[in-house]
Amino acid sequence: MDVIYLYIPFFFLALLLSCSIVFKRYKREPQTRTKLPPGSMGWPYIGETLQLYSQDPNVFFALKQKRYGEIFKTNILGCPCVMLASPEAARFVLVTEAHLFKPTYPKSKERLIGPSALFFHQGDYHTRLRKLVQSSLSLESIRNLVPDIEAIAASTFDSWGGSHVINTFHEMKRFSFEVGILAIFGHLEARYKEELKKNYWIVDRGYNSFPTSIPGTPYKKALLARKRLSKILSKIISERKNKKLLEKDLLGCLLNSRDEKGVVLTDDQIADNIIGVVFAAQDTTASVMTWIVKYLHDEPKLLEAVTAEQRTIKKLNDEGNRQLRWNQTRNMPISYKVVLESLRMASIISFTFREAVADVEYKGFLIPKGWKVMPLFRNIHHNPEFFSDPWKFDPSRFAVAPKPNTFMPFGSGVHACPGNELAKLEMLIMIHHLVTKFRWEVVGSQSGIQYGPFPVPMHGLPARFWKESNS
CATH number of 1-111+350-381: 3.30.43.20
Q: At residue 3, what are phi and psi to the nearest 5 degrees?
A: -130, 135
Known binding-site residues for heme equal: 417
Model confidence at 443: pLDDT above 70? yes
User: Model-level pTM?
Assistant: 0.89
Average pLDDT on 97-126 reads 88
Model confidence at 4: pLDDT above 80? no
- Closest to 194 (Cα-Cα) out of 246, 229, 165: 229
Confidence of residue 54 (pLDDT cuts 50, 70, 90): low
Fill in the DSSP letter of residue 258. Answer: B
Furthest-apart CA atoms within the chain: distance in Å: 74
In whole angstroms, what is the distance from residue 376 CA to residue 147 CA? 37
- Provide the residue type at 409 as one letter: P
CB 183 within 8 A of CB 251: no
Confidence of residue 471 (pLDDT cuts 50, 70, 90): low
pLDDT in tens, 398-437: 999 999 999 999 988 888 888 999 999 999 999 999 999 9
Model confidence at 148: pLDDT above 80? yes
Enumerate residues 6+ apart whose C-beta is below 8 A from 106. 10, 11, 14, 15, 211
Q: Is the model more confident about 384 or about 26?
A: 384
What percent of the chain shows pLDDT beyond 90?
Answer: 65
- Closest to 203 (Cα-Cα) out of 123, 284, 273, 114: 114
Model confidence at 77: pLDDT above 90? no
What is the DSSP secondary-structure string of 157-204?
A: HTT--SSS-EEHHHHHHHHHHHHHHHHHHSS--HHHHHHHHHHHHHHH
Least confident of 49-63, 74-88, 136-150, 310-324: 49-63
Cis omega (within 30 of 0) for bond into 453: yes
pLDDT in tens, 219-245: 999 999 999 999 999 999 999 998 877
Residue extents of the structural domains in the chain: 1-111+350-381
Known binding-site residues equal: 417
Enumerate residues 6+ apart whose C-beta is below 8 A from 228. 195, 199
Model confidence at 350: pLDDT above 90? no
In whole angstroms, what is the distance from residue 182 CA to residue 281 CA? 12
Confidence of residue 56 (pLDDT cuts 50, 70, 90): confident
Query: Measuring CA to CA, how many Å separate 72 from each of 40, 82, 228, 305?
Result: 8, 6, 44, 43
- Closest to 423 (Cα-Cα) out of 301, 288, 244: 288
Query: Measuring CA to CA, how many Å separate 243 from each of 130, 233, 462?
Result: 25, 15, 45
Average pLDDT on 266-282 reads 91
Confidence of residue 7 (pLDDT cuts 50, 70, 90): very low
In whole angstroms, what is the distance from residue 153 CA to residue 431 CA? 10
